[in-house]
Amino acid sequence: MTTLIHPACADASIEKNWPKGIKKTRQRLEIFKVLSSSSVPLSASDIFRQLTIGNPNETYAFSTVYRSLQTFEDCGIVAKTIFSTEDNALYELKSGKHRHFAICLKCHKKFALNGCPIIDTRHMLGSDMSDFVITGHQLEIYGYCKDCKSE
Amino acid sequence: MTTLIHPACADASIEKNWPKGIKKTRQRLEIFKVLSSSSVPLSASDIFRQLTIGNPNETYAFSTVYRSLQTFEDCGIVAKTIFSTEDNALYELKSGKHRHFAICLKCHKKFALNGCPIIDTRHMLGSDMSDFVITGHQLEIYGYCKDCKSE
DNA sequence: TTGGTTGCAAAATGTTTGCATGACC
DNA sequence: GGTCATGCAAACATTTTGCAACCAA
């Protein structure tokens, strides 16, 4: 269990994006790396699997994954989402611009969409809801992907 | 455990909307009634609670609630949704027009929105996804409601 | 009557927590 | 060295399943 210069530490984006005030542990660095290398949101099990596969001689606990993700979320660098097609939470690094996904109802694969439709969300709130403060929104598009639509 | 003319059976909307081919049991009728009397999606526990409170001398099983909801969903009269602010599934009767909700991030109350923004979802799919077949979408608006925004 | 439905209990799944050990700063 | 994070196991919440008894059609 080496604590020398860990490969993950060499990554410039980690140095730059690491939240202030939280310890840089081997586990958190690895989880961050897994997240940053994925183009779609991952479940805790996805992450755990990648950790153990990628580092067969290290040990990881599921609770560490959950706690690290929670910490990252509290720091504002990770977004937790529950899609309607899954029954568990998925996590992704927050990038500057938020994204939406098209999700296949059969294979559950997710496809990042081009940007975000300019929705006049204000307009949707009735006059009786003029005091609701909008901070964000989530949009998911459902359907069938290329591989599943023919079946 | 009377099986005479049950109050729920007298309700015209149930007679009219009941899916063909599934048995009309006391439990299913009561669950349908709970769903149809709510303006927001309900969890299985919500429904179970209302069943046992509303009918103290009847017995209900949690599994019956889940199985009935699954049956209703299969028949196409109930929609199951998992909102990102909760970690469990919510159920509602499908009305003709689909709805969206504004959800308070603090108290998790849901407010039905006025209709649906006309989103050009097709436009969001890149040219590489021209063979994705869109069947629906889900939109949630997040923020803080009147009672929570000041805190 | 008969197959579908229920209640109960137990299992499966995803997530959280308590606590002693261990690692970062 | 002191504090915070980890690993492990156990708790927890939600949902699913097996099975015998029961009920609607």
Q: What is the pLDDT of residues B125-147, one digit of tens each?
A: 878 888 999 988 889 999 999 99
Collapse the DSSP code of A11 into the 3-class scheme (helix H, G, I; strand E, B; otherwise coil) and give the result: coil
* B115 touches A at CB < 8 Å: yes
pLDDT band at B10 (very low <50, low <70, confident <90, very high): very low
Of B residues 72-101, those with CB within 7 angstroms of nucleic strand C are: 87
pLDDT band at A116 (very low <50, low <70, confident <90, very high): confident
A63 CA to D7 C1' distance (Å):
8
Kindly report the nearest CA distance between residue B23 and chain A, in angstroms.
28
Q: Could you tell me which chain B residue has the CA closest to the CA of A125?
A: B113
Mean pLDDT value of segment A112-140: 83
Collapse the DSSP code of B133 into the 3-class scheme (helix H, G, I; strand E, B; otherwise coil) and give the result: strand
Q: In sequence order, which residues have a C-beta less than 8 Å from that of residue A59 and are 6 or more positions away?
A: none
Mean pLDDT value of segment B116-127: 77
pLDDT band at A7 (very low <50, low <70, confident <90, very high): very low
Q: What is the dihedral of CA B24, B28, B30, B36, to 10 degrees?
A: -100
What's the mean per-residue pLDDT of chain B? 86
Kindly report the nearest CA distance between residue B68 and chain A, in angstroms.
18
Least confident of B5-19, B87-101, B106-120: B5-19
The percent of chain A in helix, strand and coil, each rounded to the nearest 5, is 35, 20, 45
pLDDT at residue A64, rounded to an integer: 98
**Counting beta carbons within 10 angstroms of the beta carbon of residue B15, is it exposed (0 to 12), middle (13 to 18) or buried (19 or more)?**
exposed
Kindly report the nearest CA distance between residue B122 and chain A, in angstroms.
10
Q: Residue B81 pairs with which residues in a beta bridge?
A: B90
Q: What percent of chain A has pLDDT over 70?
A: 89
Mean pLDDT value of segment B31-41: 95
Cβ <8 Å between B144 and A125: no
Which one, of B147, B130, B47, lies nearest residue B92 by Cα? Answer: B47
* Interatomic CA distance for residues B141 and B151, integer angstroms: 20
CA distance from start to end of chain B: 49
Least confident of A119-128, B27-36, B96-105: A119-128
pLDDT at residue B16, rounded to an integer: 79
| Residues within a 7 A CB radius of strand D | A 22-23, 25, 27-28, 58-64, 67-68, 71, 87; B 1, 3, 23-26, 43-45, 62-63, 66-67, 70, 87-89
Statement: residue A8 has pLDDT above 60: no
* B121 touches A at CB < 8 Å: yes
Least confident of A94-103, B4-13, B40-49, B138-147: B4-13
Collapse the DSSP code of A116 into the 3-class scheme (helix H, G, I; strand E, B; otherwise coil) and give the result: coil
pLDDT band at B118 (very low <50, low <70, confident <90, very high): low
CATH 3.30.1490.190 segments of chain A: 97-151
Q: In sequence order, which residues have a C-beta less than 8 Å from that of residue A15 and are 6 or more positions away?
A: A9
Kindly report the nearest CA distance between residue A8 and chain B, in angstroms.
31
**Counting beta carbons within 10 angstroms of the beta carbon of residue A23, is it exposed (0 to 12), middle (13 to 18) or buried (19 or more)?**
exposed
Mean pLDDT value of segment A114-124: 75
Report residue A39 as tokens.
Answer: 């183009």
Contact list, B87 vs chain A (CB under 8 Å): 82, 89
Of B81, B135, B146, the CB nearest to A84: B81
What CATH number has the domain spanning B1-95? 1.10.10.10
Collapse the DSSP code of A64 into the 3-class scheme (helix H, G, I; strand E, B; otherwise coil) and give the result: helix
pLDDT at residue B125, rounded to an integer: 83
**8 Å CB contact between B143 and A134:** yes
CATH 1.10.10.10 segments of chain B: 1-95
* A40 touches B at CB < 8 Å: no
Statement: residue A75 has pLDDT above 50: yes
Q: Looking at A70-129, which runs of residues are DSSP E strands?
A: 78-81, 90-93, 101-104, 110-112
Mean pLDDT value of segment A6-13: 51
Render pLDDT for A36-56 as a digit per residue (tens, 0 to 9): 999 899 999 999 999 999 989
pLDDT at residue B133, rounded to an integer: 93
Contact list, B80 vs chain A (CB under 8 Å): 84
B119 vs A59, which has greater pLDDT? A59
Mean pLDDT value of segment B76-98: 89
Cβ <8 Å between B89 and A87: yes
The class (CATH top level) of A97-151 is alpha beta
**pTM (2 d.p.):** 0.86
Contact list, A132 vs chain B (CB under 8 Å): 102, 104, 111, 143-146, 149
